Amino acid sequence: MPFDPAQRHQIEQDVLTAAWEAERLAACDGAIALLREIADLERDDDGDVILGADANGHNDLLSRIATFLATHDQ
C-alpha cells in the first residue's frame, strides 16, 4: 500500500532529522575527545594547563581544536 503525500513528507523529514542528529552526536563525541585530551595535559602549580609547542611554534592540539570548530560552526 503506497504512502499518501503527508506520510511520505513526514518520513522524509524524519530521515533528515535523524541524519542531522547523528551528525551532531558525532560532533559531540569529537568535542568530548578533545576535552579529555585537554584534561590530561600537564598543569602548572596554579592548575593551569601547559600547552607545549614544537620548534616551529605549532601546537597540534590547538590546531585540531581550531579545525574542529571551523568544521562544526553552523
DSSP string across the chain:
-PPPHHHHHHHHHHHHHHHHHHHHHHHHHHHHHHHHHHHTS-B-TTS-B-----TTS--HHHHHHHHHHHHH--
- Tell me if 27 sits within 8 A of 72, measured CB to CB: yes
Domain parsing of the chain, residue ranges: 5-72
Cα 2 to the chain's mean position, in Å?
39
pLDDT per residue over 39-73, tens digit each? 787 788 888 877 777 777 777 777 888 888 888 77
Predicted pLDDT of residue 71: 86
pLDDT score of 24 more than 70: yes
- In this predicted model, which residue has the larger pLDDT, 2 or 7? 7
pLDDT score of 74 more than 70: no
- In this predicted model, which residue has the larger pLDDT, 32 or 51? 32
- In this predicted model, which residue has the larger pLDDT, 14 or 35? 14
